[in-house]
C-alpha cells in the first residue's frame, strides 16, 4: 500500500516501492570494462604521487591504475589489497573527494580528477567476482591472537595476522560481522550485501575464527583475553552516542541516527521501513548526511539537517553536502536545538541561532521551530565502557605510532583508538599496522 | 606463480626486463636505482674510446610525437654515446656489478672500425665484471657521421668483421645491436651471426624528424635555428621492431640466433609480444624515460599474471611461440572467410565505421535514418577497417564464416580446405594442387 508522503507521523510506504528501489541503487555505479579503460587512461602515473600520499593505507594508486590500463585488473586488485584488504569497501565509501581524488594532479589542474575510487572498485570487484583470494598464509607460528570487534580495523588486523601465520579469534559483540561496513554507511554506498560478501571473502584466507555475540566486558574480559592469548587487539569502535541533554529527548520518534542507519542496512525490505513526513537531523558529520539523505530517499517530504556551527566546520565533505542538497535535503547551519516539542510524540524541534565569537560558540536569543515527526541525533559517538587500566587520550584509547596501548600485549585501532580520522580506510590502516607490530613483537621480526 | 627468471646467453637476471643502453643507464646513480626499482638488467650507456669523451649539444636533445591527452607516442633524440670519461664509467660499472651480482650488466661499446681499437677496449671493459658486450652498430645520428654506429650497421661486411674481432678479444657473450635504417634486416643479422655473435639486439632508433618549427622553419629539436635528424623510438616504433625481430626469428639462416627485443616496449603485453616473436628478453628505454623506473613493476606483474593464466611456467616457454605462425602472404589461406559484425548493444552510433567503409573501402555498411549501422555481407570483404576505427573496443568483431555456408559477396560456398596464392588459378605461376 502506498501512503501519501504528506501523511503526518512515521510510516512506511510513502513512495512507490519501485522508487525506493531506484533511490537506493548504487550511488556510483560500477564501471564496465570500457569505462574503466578510458578512466584509467587519464592517469599520468605521477612520480611520488600525491594520491598515494593522501591515502591513509598508502595504496600504490598509479601502479594499480596502470595495471587496469594494461588489462590486468586482477594484478591491480592485488596491488590494492596488499595495502588495504578492505579495498573493495573503501572503494565504495572512502570520501575520495577529500583524500586521493582531492590531490590528484588532474583535479588540481582541471577540476576533474582521475576517478580513483571507481577504478579501485573495478579492480577489486573483478578479482572478487572470480572468487579469488590472492593471499596465502605463511607457515603457522603457533601464536594465538584475540581481536575484539569484527569491524574494519579488527578484520584488517585479523587478516594480516592470519597471513603472517598466526591464529586469530575475533570476538564480535553483535551477531553479525563487518562493524560499520555492515551497520553504518548509507545503503546506496554498499549495495547487494557487499559488506557480508567481503567479510566472507576476507575469511577465506583461513586461520581466523569469529565468535559472535561476545561483547567485551560481558562475555569476555580484557584480563581473560590477555591470559589466554599471546596478544590482544582492540577494535570495538565507538559503541556509545552523545546525548543532546534536552528535555523531551525520550519522546517517541526521537532516536539516534546510527540506529536508523543500522536498521536501514539490516532491513530485508526497505519499502517496509517507516520514516517521518518531516524529519529533522541534528549534526554535521557523515552520519547526519547519511541519515538525512536516506530519510529523504525513503519518502520523507521534508528533511532538514541542522548543524550548530558554520558550514566550513561541518565534518561532512563538500561532496556529501552537495549530495544531500541534490537529493532535496535542506541544510541549516548556525543553529542549536533548545526544545523538543510534542505531547508524547514529537511534533517539532525548536532551535536557537548561534554565532561564533572569538572562537567560542554562543547561543543567541532568536529561535525558530521546525515541525517534525521524527528527529535523528547525529552529534557524535563515543567510546563505550572500557576495561580498567587502559590509558585514554581525548576520550579514546591512547596508542603510540604502532597502535600499541599502555597495557602489555594490547594494541588498539580504528575509531576506538586515538589518532587518525574516523574513516573506514583509517581503521584498516591502523588494524594492519597493529598486526605488523604484533607480529614483530611476537616473533622478534622487524 | 610463473618464474620470470631470465637466462639470456647464460646471463641470468631476475626478469627479462633490461634497460637499454641510453640515458637511463648512463651512470651508477641511475643504474643502482633501476635495479632497486626492479629492472632485471641494464645495458650501460655506450662506452667510447679512451681519450677526450664526446661532447653533446647544449640545446634540446629530444623531440616528441604526442597522442591524445599528450600521451608520448614517439621520442626522437640526438644525444651521443656517453660523454663521461671511460675510466669513470668502468669504475662505476665495477662497483655496481659487485653489489648486484644477480642482475645483468652489459657493456655497450662503440669505437672506430679498427681492429686494435676494439681489441684494446674489450678486455679492459671485461675487467669490470660485466656479463657481456653489446656492439652499438645502431645509433643513426652524430656518431654515424664519424663512421660509427649505424654507419657500421648498414654494411654487413663491417658487422661481421668487427664482431669477429670482438669474439677474438673476449669469452663473454657478444650481442650485436642492429640498426633498422636498412632495407633488409636479415643481411646485418646474418653478418652478425657469421661473425660469431652470440645474439642480436634490435631495433636501434630510426632516422627521423619529429616535427618542424613553422615559425623558425627548422626541424625540432632545434639548436640555434638548425636541426638534424635524430633517432626515433617509443611506442610508435614497436610494429617496425616486431617485424624485424620476427623476420630474423623465422628466416632459416638466422633462426635460432638469440634476440634481445627492443622498440617501444611499454607494458607487459609489448614484452610478451616481442618474446612470442622470438626475443629471449626485452630492452626498454622510452617507457622508463616517460614514466620513471617504477614502470617495470607493471611489466613484471602483468607478465606474471598472463603467464599464470596461460599456464606458462617459464620465459623459455613463451619465447618464439608465435614464430611458426609468421608466414609469407602467399601462404595465407584464401579460403578463410570472415565478415564484420556490429554489436548493436555496444554501438554508440558515432558512424565512424560507416564513414570509413563508405568513403574509403567497400561500401559494406548501411546506415538507417535512426543511425543504426549494419554490415552488408554481400559487400563486406572483411578488411577490418571498421574494427580498427571503431572507438568502442569489442563493438565490431570479425566472424568466421563456417565452411559450407554461403559467402554472400562472392556467391560461393565457403570451402573447408586450405588454399593459398601459390595454387590459385589467377596466379600465372601457380603450381597445380596435388
Q: List CB contacts (< 8 A) between B294 and chain A.
A: 45, 47, 62-63
Residue A97 CA: distances (Å) to CA of A18, A38, A57, A118, B31: 30, 20, 16, 12, 38
The chain B residue lying nearest A64, using CA atoms, is B298
Catalytic residue among B130, B139, B353, B357: B139
Instruction: Return the H-helix or E-strand segment holding A434.
Output: helix A424-443
To the nearest whole Å, the CA of A360 is away from the closest chain B CA by 50
Q: Is the pTM of this model over 0.90?
A: yes
Note whether B345 contacts A: Cβ–Cβ < 8 A.
Answer: no
Q: List CB contacts (< 8 A) between A74 and chain B.
A: 305
Nearest one of B157, B242, B150, B248 to B205, comparing CA atoms: B150
Residue B94 three-state SS? helix
Q: What pLDDT is stored for residue A1 in this prediction?
A: 52
Look at B302 and A70 and tell me if their CB atoms are within 8 Å: yes
Q: What pLDDT is stored for residue B85 in this prediction?
A: 97
- Is the pLDDT confidence value at B209 over 70? yes
Note whether B394 contacts A: Cβ–Cβ < 8 A.
Answer: yes
To the nearest whole Å, the CA of A69 is away from the closest chain B CA by 10
- Is the pLDDT confidence value at A137 over 70? yes
Question: pLDDT tens digits, residue range A402-434?
Answer: 999 999 999 999 999 999 889 999 999 999 999
The three three-digit cell numbers of residue A259, written as one number = 540506529
Q: List CB contacts (< 8 A) between B72 and chain A.
A: none
Question: Which of B269, B291, B392 lies at the smallest CB-CB distance from A70?
Answer: B269
Interface contacts (A, B; CB < 8 Å): 42
Task: Tell me the pairing of strands B72-77 and B104-109.
Answer: unpaired
Question: Which of B269, B295, B305 lies at the smallest CB-CB distance from A75?
Answer: B305
To the nearest whole Å, the CA of B262 is away from the closest chain A CA by 19
Q: What pLDDT is stored for residue A2 in this prediction?
A: 56
Note whether B421 contacts A: Cβ–Cβ < 8 A.
Answer: no
Mean pLDDT of A241-258: 93
To the nearest whole Å, the CA of B393 is away from the closest chain A CA by 7
Which residues, in sequence order, are bridge partners of residue B220?
Answer: B211
To the nearest whole Å, the CA of A236 is away from the closest chain B CA by 37
Question: Which of A34, A37, A63 lies at the smallest CB-CB distance from B298?
Answer: A63
Q: List CB contacts (< 8 A) between A34 and chain B.
A: 392-394
Question: Which of A41, A42, A67 lies at the smallest CB-CB distance from B298?
Answer: A67
Look at B291 and A75 and tell me if their CB atoms are within 8 Å: no
- The phi, psi pair for A440, rounded to 5°, reads -65, -40
Residues sharing a CB contact under 8 Å with residue A29, sequence separation 6 or more, in sequence order:
none
CB B285 within 8 A of CB B291: no
Q: Using CA atoms, how far apart are residues A206 and A220, in angstroms rounded to an integer? A: 23
With cut-offs at 50, 70 and 90, classify the pLDDT of residue A7.
Answer: confident
The chain A residue lying nearest B293, using CA atoms, is A47
ipTM for the whole complex: 0.91
Q: What pLDDT is stored for residue B394 in this prediction?
A: 92
Question: pLDDT tens digits, residue range B11-54?
Answer: 999 999 999 999 999 999 999 999 999 999 999 999 999 999 99
Question: Which of B69, B294, B301 lies at the smallest CB-CB distance from A67?
Answer: B301
Mean pLDDT of B275-282: 98
Task: Tell me the pairing of strands A381-382 and A374-377.
Answer: unpaired
Look at B301 and A72 and tell me if their CB atoms are within 8 Å: yes
Look at B295 and A45 and tell me if their CB atoms are within 8 Å: yes
Best residue in A66, A79, A112, A123 for a mutation probing chain B (most B CBs within 10 Å): A66
Q: What pLDDT is stored for residue A28 in this prediction?
A: 87
CB A397 within 8 A of CB A405: yes
What is the residue-averaged pLDDT of chain A? Answer: 95
For A28-151, strand residue ranges (E) read: 144-148
- Is the pLDDT confidence value at A118 over 90? yes
Instruction: Check residue A31 and report its DSSP letter.
Output: P
The three three-digit cell numbers of residue A129, written as one number = 567476482
Question: Which of B269, B294, B304 lies at the smallest CB-CB distance from A71?
Answer: B269
Cβ atoms within 10 Å, residue B327: 10
With cut-offs at 50, 70 and 90, classify the pLDDT of residue B397.
Answer: very high
Whether the bond into B168 is cis, omega within 30 of 0: no
Q: List CB contacts (< 8 A) between B269 and chain A.
A: 70-71
To the nearest whole Å, the CA of A202 is away from the closest chain B CA by 21
Question: pLDDT tens digits, residue range A173-202?
Answer: 999 999 999 999 999 999 999 999 999 999
What is the residue-averaged pLDDT of chain B? Answer: 96
Q: What pLDDT is stored for residue B13 in this prediction?
A: 98
- Is the pLDDT confidence value at A444 over 90? no
Q: Using CA atoms, how far apart are residues B183 and B187, in angstroms rounded to an integer? A: 9
Q: Using CA atoms, how far apart are residues B287 and B18, in angstroms rounded to an integer? A: 12
To the nearest whole Å, the CA of B299 is away from the closest chain A CA by 9
Look at B298 and A47 and tell me if their CB atoms are within 8 Å: no
- Is the pLDDT confidence value at B231 over 70? yes
The three three-digit cell numbers of residue A111, written as one number = 577540476
The chain A residue lying nearest B268, using CA atoms, is A70
Q: Using CA atoms, how far apart are residues B200 and B137, in angstroms rounded to an integer? A: 11
Specify the residue for cell string 567481503. A198
The chain A residue lying nearest B290, using CA atoms, is A45
- The phi, psi pair for A350, rounded to 5°, reads -105, 135
The chain B residue lying nearest A44, using CA atoms, is B291
Question: Which of A34, A74, A75 lies at the smallest CB-CB distance from B393?
Answer: A34
Q: List CB contacts (< 8 A) between A78 and chain B.
A: 301
Q: Using CA atoms, how far apart are residues B205 and A307, in angstroms rounded to an integer? A: 65
Note whether B392 contacts A: Cβ–Cβ < 8 A.
Answer: yes
With cut-offs at 50, 70 and 90, classify the pLDDT of residue A446.
Answer: low
Best residue in A41, A42, A72 for a mutation probing chain B (most B CBs within 10 Å): A72
Residue A187, by phi and psi: left (phi above 0), alpha (psi -120 to 50) or beta?
alpha
Cβ atoms within 10 Å, residue A177: 22
Q: List CB contacts (< 8 A) between B70 and chain A.
A: none
Q: Using CA atoms, how far apart are residues A69 and B239, in angstroms rounded to an integer? A: 20
Whether the bond into A162 is cis, omega within 30 of 0: no
Best residue in A70, A74, A82 for a mutation probing chain B (most B CBs within 10 Å): A70
Q: What pLDDT is stored for residue B187 in this prediction?
A: 98
Q: What pLDDT is stored for residue B432 in this prediction?
A: 60
| Percent with pLDDT over 90 in chain B | 95
Question: pLDDT tens digits, residue range A339-374?
Answer: 999 988 899 999 999 999 998 999 999 999 999 999
Residue B282 CA: distances (Å) to CA of A372, A413, B75: 70, 46, 18
Interface subset of B 251-280, CB within 8 angstroms of A: 267-269
Look at B297 and A74 and tell me if their CB atoms are within 8 Å: no
- Is the pLDDT confidence value at A82 over 80? yes
CB A39 within 8 A of CB A123: no
Note whether B294 contacts A: Cβ–Cβ < 8 A.
Answer: yes
CB B108 within 8 A of CB B283: no
Which residues, in sequence order, are bridge partners of residue A240?
Answer: A382
Residue B139 appears among annotated catalytic residues: yes
Q: What pLDDT is stored for residue B409 in this prediction?
A: 97
To the nearest whole Å, the CA of B72 is away from the closest chain A CA by 11
The chain A residue lying nearest B298, using CA atoms, is A67
Amino acid at each position: 500500500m502506498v501512503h501519501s508522503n504528506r501523511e503526518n507521523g512515521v510510516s512506511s510506504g510513502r513512495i512507490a516501492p519501485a522508487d525506493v528501489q531506484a533511490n537506493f541503487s548504487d550511488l556510483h555505479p560500477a564501471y564496465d570494462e570500457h569505462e574503466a579503460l578510458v578512466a584509467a587512461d587519464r592517469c599520468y602515473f605521477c612520480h611520488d604521487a600525491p594520491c598515494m600520499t593522501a591515502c591513509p593505507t598508502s595504496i600504490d594508486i598509479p601502479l594499480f591504475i596502470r595495471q587496469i590500463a594494461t588489462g590486468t585488473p586482477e594484478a591491480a586488485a592485488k596491488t590494492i589489497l596488499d595495502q588495504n584488504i578492505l579495498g573493495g569497501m573503501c572503494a565504495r565509501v572512502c570520501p575520495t573527494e577529500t583524500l586521493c581524488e582531492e590531490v590528484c594532479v588532474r583535479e588540481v589542474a582541471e577540476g576533474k580528477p582521475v576517478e580513483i575510487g571507481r577504478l579501485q572498485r573495478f579492480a577489486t570487484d573483478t578479482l572478487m567476482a572470480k572468487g579469488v583470494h590472492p593471499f596465502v598464509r605463511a607457515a603457522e607460528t603457533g601464536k594465538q591472537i584475540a581481536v575484539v570487534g569484527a569491524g574494519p580495523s579488527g578484520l584488517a588486523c585479523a587478516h594480516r595476522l592470519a597471513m603472517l601465520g598466526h591464529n586469530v579469534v575475533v570476538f564480535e559483540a553483535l551477531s553479525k560481522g563487518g562493524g560499520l561496513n555492515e551497520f553504518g554507511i548509507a545503503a546506496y554506498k554498499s549495495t547487494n550485501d557487499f559488506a557480508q560478501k567481503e567479510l566472507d571473502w576476507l575469511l577465506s584466507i583461513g586461520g581466523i575464527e569469529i565468535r559472535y555475540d561476545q561483547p567485551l566486558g560481558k562475555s569476555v574480559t580484557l584480563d581473560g583475553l590477555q591470559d589466554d592469548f599471546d596478544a590482544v587487539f582492540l577494535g570495538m569502535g565507538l559503541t556509545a552516542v552523545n546525548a543532546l541533554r534536552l528535555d523531551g529527548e525520550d519522546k517517541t520518534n526521537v532516536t539516534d541516527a546510527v540506529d536508523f542507519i543500522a536498521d536501514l542496512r539490516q532491513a530485508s525490505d526497505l519499502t517496509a521501513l517507516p520514516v517521518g513526513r518531516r524529519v529533522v537531523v541534528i549534526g554535521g558529520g557523515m552520519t547526519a548526511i547519511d541519515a538525512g539523505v536516506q530519510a529523504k530517499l525513503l519518502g520523507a517530504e521534508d528533511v532538514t539537517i541542522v548543524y550548530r556551527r558554520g558550514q566550513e566546520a561541518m565534518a561532512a565533505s563538500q561532496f556529501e553536502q552537495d549530495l544531500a542538497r541534490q537529493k532535496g535535503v535542506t541544510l541549516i547551519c548556525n543553529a542549536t536545538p533548545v526544545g523538543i516539542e510534542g505531547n508524547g510524540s514529537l511534533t517539532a524541534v525548536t532551535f536557537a541561532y548561534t554565532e561564533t565569537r572569538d572562537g567560542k560558540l554562543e547561543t543567541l536569543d532568536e529561535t525558530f521551530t521546525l515541525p517534525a515527526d521524527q528527529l535523528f541525533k547525529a552529534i557524535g559517538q563515543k567510546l563505550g565502557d572500557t576495561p580498567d587500566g587502559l590509558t585514554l587520550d581525548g576520550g579514546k584509547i591512547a596508542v603510540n605510532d604502532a597502535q600499541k596501548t599502555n597495557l602489555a600485549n594490547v594494541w588498539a585501532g580504528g575509531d576506538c583508538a586515538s589518532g587518525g580520522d574516523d574513516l573506514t580506510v583509517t581503521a584498516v590502516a591502523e588494524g594492519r599496522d597493529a598486526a605488523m607490530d604484533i607480529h614483530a613483537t611476537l616473533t622478534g621480526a622487524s | 606463480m610463473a618464474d620470470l627468471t631470465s637466462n639470456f646467453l647464460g646471463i641470468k637476471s631476475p626478469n627479462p626486463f633490461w634497460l637499454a643502453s641510453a640515458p637511463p643507464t648512463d651512470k651508477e646513480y641511475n643504474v643502482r636505482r633501476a635495479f632497486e626499482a626492479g629492472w632485471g638488467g641494464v645495458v650501460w650507456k655506450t662506452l667510447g674510446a679512451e681519450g677526450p669523451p664526446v661532447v653533446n649539444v647544449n640545446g634540446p636533445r629530444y623531440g616528441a610525437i604526442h597522442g591524445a591527452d599528450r600521451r608520448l607516442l614517439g621520442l626522437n633524440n640526438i644525444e651521443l654515446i656517453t660523454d663521461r670519461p671511460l675510466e669513470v664509467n668502468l669504475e662505476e660499472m665495477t662497483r655496481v656489478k659487485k653489489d648486484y651480482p644477480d642482475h645483468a650488466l652489459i657493456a655497450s661499446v662503440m669505437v672506430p672500425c679498427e681492429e686494435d681499437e676494439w681489441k684494446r677496449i674489450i678486455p679492459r671493459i671485461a675487467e669490470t665484471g660485466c656479463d657481456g658486450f653489446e656492439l652499438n652498430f645502431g645509433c643513426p645520428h652524430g656518431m654515424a657521421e664519424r663512421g660509427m654506429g649505424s654507419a657500421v650497421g648498414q654494411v654487413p661486411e663491417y658487422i661481421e668483421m668487427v664482431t669477429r674481432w670482438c669474439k677474438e678479444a673476449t669469452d663473454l657473450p657478444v650481442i650485436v645491436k642492429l640498426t633498422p635504417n636498412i632495407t633488409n634486416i636479415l643481411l646485418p643479422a646474418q653478418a652478425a651471426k657469421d661473425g660469431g655473435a652470440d645474439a642480436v639486439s634490435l631495433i636501434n632508433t630510426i632516422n627521423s624528424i619529429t616535427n618542424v618549427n613553422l615559425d623558425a622553419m627548422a626541424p625540432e629539436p632545434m639548436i640555434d635555428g638548425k636541426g638534424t635528424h635524430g633517432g626515433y623510438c617509443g611506442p610508435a616504433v614497436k610494429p617496425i621492431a616486431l617485424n624485424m625481430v620476427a623476420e630474423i626469428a623465422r628466416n632459416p639462416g638466422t633462426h635460432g640466433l638469440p634476440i634481445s627485443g627492443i622498440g617501444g616496449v611499454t607494458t607487459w603485453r609489448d614484452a610478451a609480444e616481442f618474446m612470442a616473436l622470438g626475443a629471449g628478453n626485452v630492452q626498454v628505454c622510452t617507457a622508463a624515460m616517460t614514466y620513471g623506473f617504477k614502470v617495470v613493476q607493471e611489466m613484471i606483474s602483468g607478465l606474471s599474471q598472463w603467464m599464470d593464466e596461460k599456464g606458462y611456467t617459464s620465459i623459455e616457454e613463451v619465447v618464439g611461440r608465435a614464430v611458426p605462425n609468421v608466414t609469407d602472404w602467399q601462404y595465407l589461406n584464401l579460403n578463410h572467410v570472415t565478415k564484420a559484425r556490429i554489436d548493436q548493444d555496444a554501438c554508440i552510433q558515432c558512424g565512424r565505421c560507416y564513414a570509413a567503409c563508405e568513403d574509403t573501402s567497400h561500401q559494406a555498411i548501411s546506415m538507417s535514418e535512426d543511425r543504426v549501422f549494419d554490415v552488408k555481407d554481400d559487400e563486406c570483404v572483411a578488411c577490418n577497417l571498421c574494427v580498427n576505427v571503431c572507438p568502442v573496443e569489442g563493438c565490431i568483431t570479425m566472424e568466421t564464416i563456417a565452411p559450407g555456408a554461403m559467402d554472400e559477396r562472392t556467391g560461393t560456398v565457403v570451402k573447408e580446405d586450405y588454399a593459398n596464392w601459390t595454387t590459385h588459378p589467377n596466379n600465372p605461376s601457380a603450381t597445380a594442387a596435388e
